[in-house]
A = this chain, B = another copy of it.
């Protein structure tokens, strides 16, 4: 199943946009995710997911071919908290910062309880010791967003990265 077949046609994209406040909240959720990572508030990410969730990072190459391998797969808030605790206490990596660019947040359809959302992202990594910057990753977010009261949450976020592998260690979430 190709990427194209998983997506709807341009004709249908026009109708999918929800009312302004909902659209704003969905955008804001994506921006808050990015800012939580970039400001090194990784502990806040769990609160942007639903209790049971599906956060996955997998390559475009694998996804296009229906190959299931993901490099990260998290299914609950607790698992995300666990991962961040591990990152803070146990993992060893060269100190660096991420900076997310999120572009083109689009609601492309309704799901049973929420919204099907797409966005492009790129992440620039800056090394702490010498300030060297490079494009660390780019790709697409494939999200399902649901609302608990006024609060938008990610029930699903699939991060599809364009390159075939992640150079060196992936410490922070994308």
Contacts and interface: CB of A to CB of B under 8 A. Distances in A.
Nearest to A140: B38
Interface stretch (A12-20, A50-58, A75-83): A12-20
B104 A34 contact: yes
A114 interface: no
Interface of A: 2-4, 7, 9-11, 13-14, 17, 20-21, 23-25, 28, 30-32, 34-36, 38-41, 44, 47-48, 60-61, 97, 99-106, 118, 120, 122, 124, 126, 128, 130-135, 138-140, 150-152, 162-165
Closest 9 CB pairs of A and B: A131-B163, A31-B104, A126-B162, A131-B164, A101-B103, A99-B138, A10-B44, A4-B41, A124-B138
A123 to B, nearest CB: 10
A38 B24 CA distance: 24
A162 B125 CA distance: 9
A34 B103 contact: yes
Give the number of times this chain occurs in the complex, counting copies.
3
A71 to B, nearest CB: 13
Contacts of A164: 130-131
Nearest to A125: B162
Contacts of A3: 39-41
Nearest to A31: B104
A55 to B, nearest CB: 15
Given A4-B40, A124-B138, A133-B138, 13 more contacts: A4-B39, A7-B39, A9-B47, A10-B32, A10-B36, A10-B44, A13-B32, A17-B28, A38-B120, A100-B104, A126-B138, A131-B164, A134-B135
